[in-house]
């Protein structure tokens, strides 16, 4: 009889436990039902917003797909910039007076041994010129040193027996077209065969283009 009294209380306790579990589950289901109802009401109230948002998302996705499928833009070809025009060459330097072809006339035409000193030439060949009635004598200068700044000439007139020495300087280095401009200042010394000085003076010369 002892087991009979022990089983009854156990069966009653199990039944009570199952009832408690069922009640708890029912409460949970009731709460879930309420939450689902609230969610459905929210969705129904905002259905238009959700639809518009879905459409916008679809449009954005479609635009992204189209953009990704577009071909890559062709590289921009920039034409090379044109180089600036070259600067014009500088003007050629003006010719030097010492290199100009032509002749030089003294400001004072003196006379030695019945011959008048009339002209001095440096280019193309250095020589001095004496004139007498009806004749002209050109005397070459064997010793000639001509630089852009100065000139040295020694010209021997053997037939007359005189030696002409000229030591001069160019006031201006470049050629001038002014016929009245003094372009050479020089000492002129004339000696005979015995080295006696027949004439010595400082002369200014004016340049003329070749005849």
Can you tell me the distance from the alpha carbon of 24 to that of 18, in angstroms, rounded to the nearest whole number?
Answer: 10
Phi, psi (5° rounding) for residue 57?
A: -60, -40
**Which pLDDT does position 172 carry in this prediction?**
87
What is the SS3 string spanning 127-196?
Answer: EEEEEECCEEEEEEEEEEEECCCEEEEEEEECCCCEEEEEEEECCCCECCCCCCCEEEEEEEEEEECCCC
Distances (CA, A) of 156 to 103, 138, 168: 19, 11, 18
**Which pLDDT does position 74 carry in this prediction?**
67
pTM (2 decimals)? 0.57
Distances (CA, A) of 211 to 57, 73, 133, 208: 102, 78, 21, 8
Can you tell me the distance from the alpha carbon of 198 to that of 161, in angstroms, rounded to the nearest whole number?
Answer: 11
| Mean pLDDT in order along the chain per 10 residues (211 residues) | 50 74 80 78 68 69 68 68 86 89 93 93 95 92 95 95 96 84 94 94 94 80
Can you tell me the distance from the alpha carbon of 151 to that of 132, in angstroms, rounded to the nearest whole number?
Answer: 26
Closest CA to 105 of 53, 179, 40, 25: 179
**Which pLDDT does position 166 carry in this prediction?**
97
**Which pLDDT does position 36 carry in this prediction?**
76
């Amino acid at each position: 009889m002892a087991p009979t009294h022990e089983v009854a209380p156990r069966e009653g306790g199990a039944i009570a436990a199952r009832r408690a579990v069922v009640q708890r589950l029912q409460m949970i289901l009731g709460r879930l039902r309420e939450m689902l109802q609230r969610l459905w009401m929210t969705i129904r109230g905002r259905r238009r917003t959700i639809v518009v948002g879905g459409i916008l998302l679809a449009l954005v996705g479609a635009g992204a797909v189209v953009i990704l499928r577009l071909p890559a833009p062709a590289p921009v070809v920039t034409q090379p910039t044109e180089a600036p025009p070259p600067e014009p060459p500088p003007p050629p330097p003006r010719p030097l007076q010492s290199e100009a072809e032509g002749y030089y006339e003294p400001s004072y035409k003196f006379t030695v041994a019945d011959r008048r000193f009339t002209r001095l030439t440096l280019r193309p060949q250095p020589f001095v010129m004496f004139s007498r009635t009806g004749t002209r004598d050109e005397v070459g200068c064997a010793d000639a040193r001509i630089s852009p700044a100065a000139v040295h000439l020694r010209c021997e007139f053997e037939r007359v027996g005189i030696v002409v020495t000229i030591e001069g300087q160019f006031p201006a280095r470049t050629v001038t077209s002014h016929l009245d401009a003094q372009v050479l200042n020089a000492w002129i010394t004339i000696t005979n065969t015995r080295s006696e000085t027949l004439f010595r003076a400082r002369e200014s010369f004016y340049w003329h283009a070749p005849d």
